[in-house]
Amino acid sequence: MSIMPTPIMPTQCRPLCLKACCLVTLAWGCTDGASFAVVEHAPPNAPTPGEAGPDEPTQPAEELTALTRLDIPPGFPPPRIPATNPLTDAKIELGRHLFYDTRLSGNGEQSCASCHEQSKAFADGRALPTGSTGEIHHANSLHLVNAVYQGTLTWANPLLTSLETQIFVPIFGEEPVELGAAPFQVEIIERLAADAYYQEAFPAAFPERETPLDWDAVAMALASFVRSLISGNSAFDRFVYQGEAQALSASAKRGMDLFFSEELECHHCHGGFNFTEASVHANTPFEARRFNNTGLYNVDGEGGYPLTARGLIEFTGAPSDMGRFRAPSLRNVAVTAPFMHDGSVETLGEVIDIYAAGGRVISEGPNAGDGRSNPFKSGFVVGFTLNERQRSDLLAFLESLTDDAFLTNPRFADPWARGEDGAPTAAATR
């Protein structure tokens, strides 16, 4: 198999770039002449990694279900898959191996799964993760649940719409370093090329590519695996979409009514089948790129958020975009603590209390301030009163969004896992 590692990391081009989005800005072209080498070096006939924007052709839904083991749950629309990287089982399976492969990091110790654990709906249980060089990330590791339906990726980047592009951020990003692969990009491709599994799996997944193993292919396979992480079999789904009248407890049903009430307003931002207003799918007529300020901070009395993570304003520069973040999907939210873009809220009970108060008051420390009076706060976060029973009903509803089959599905588990006897585990052989 031929190996063609390509120089990817930009050494210049910072004018529009903030933090890890630098790579992404490059994908749109850069004013000072640097180019996005991944695309530039792709073999002539190879598909360009997907830009699954609204005008991009998408893989037809019939082909999706015929060619892949993707289970689209009842009540879910067909996802939007870029025609430049059609989903196949071979790519999903290859992507699963790469997702759990520590050889993808600079120090050989971290994989995607270090920050995205299946049992936590692919979040990691930490407020802020640490990358392979020990650098602490500025944002909470997002869960990877139905990412295929996210109109934009990460907590607050309006430009990042393609998983193929996003995946280079944790691999090569330098601000902060996550997998820290940038200085080792040639070496890492060589490591993968030396592995017997990959020697077969890359050509099988990319039969049309002249160079089946390069960084493009790695990103396309990882994107395919991430797209396959679809969760839609919670108690809520069984009750609403699958006609199981007993699936939800009486308390969770009351909590559902509260969640969708005009008094609590949750559904405005966490509505729809994926519990976020930011969803797109194959039939979405226009792009929804919504970001909201929920009044978590007010460090300067003028609506300021801590400098480490200020949300949409970092990308647009518009003052009114201060503290605006993408509403996360609430699917599996009971296993993804701690919460919010910076992991600063530990429990779901606390989340409810913050919304009930109409924002968060921090009384001491560097982030002290009254988020309730943040001038950029959404008009839907106005506060409400719940009695004890209603509060536990709302919690029961949020807990009913947990999909145990997703959290334990062997198809999403570590394929390299070995039991104590050194033999592959059940998950590894699926």
| Residue 268 engages ligand HEC in binding (rule: CB under 6 A) | yes
CB of 377 to ligand HEC, least distance (A): 8
| Residue 114 engages ligand HEC in binding (rule: CB under 6 A) | yes
- 160: tokens are 């990042």
**Terminal-residue alpha carbon distance, the chain:** 26
| Residue 374 engages ligand HEC in binding (rule: CB under 6 A) | no
CB of 423 to ligand HEC, least distance (A): 27
Among positive and negative, which fits the CA dihedral 186, 415, 148, 107? negative
Task: Report which DSSP code applies to 242.
Answer: S
| Residue 110 engages ligand HEC in binding (rule: CB under 6 A) | yes
| Residue 396 engages ligand HEC in binding (rule: CB under 6 A) | no
CB of 129 to ligand HEC, least distance (A): 4
Chain-centroid distance of CA 43 in Å reads 29
DSSP secondary structure letters along 329-370: P-TTGGGS-SBSTT--B--HHHHHHHHHHTS-EE-SSTT-EE
Interaction with ligand HEC in 269-328: which residues (CB under 6 A)?
269-270, 292, 294, 296, 325, 327-328
Select from 2-10, 76-84, 171-179, 419-427 the region that touches ligand HEC (CB under 6 A).
171-179
Residue 33: exposure state from Cβ atoms within 10 A (0-12, 13-18, ≥19)? exposed
Exactly one of 88, 141, 161, 402 binds ligand HEC (CB under 6 A); that residue is 141
Separation of alpha carbons 308 and 342, rounded Å? 9
Select from 63-71, 170-178, 245-253, 415-423 the region that touches ligand HEC (CB under 6 A).
170-178
Peptide bond into 338 cis (omega under 30): yes
Return the ∠ at Cα 232 (arms to 226 and 234), rounded to 5°: 130
Contact residues for ligand HEC, defined by CB under 6 A? 99, 110, 112, 114-116, 129, 131, 137, 139, 141-142, 144, 147, 150, 153-155, 163, 166-167, 170-171, 178-179, 222, 226, 264-266, 268-270, 292, 294, 296, 325, 327-328, 330, 333, 336, 339-341, 348, 351-352, 355, 378, 380-381
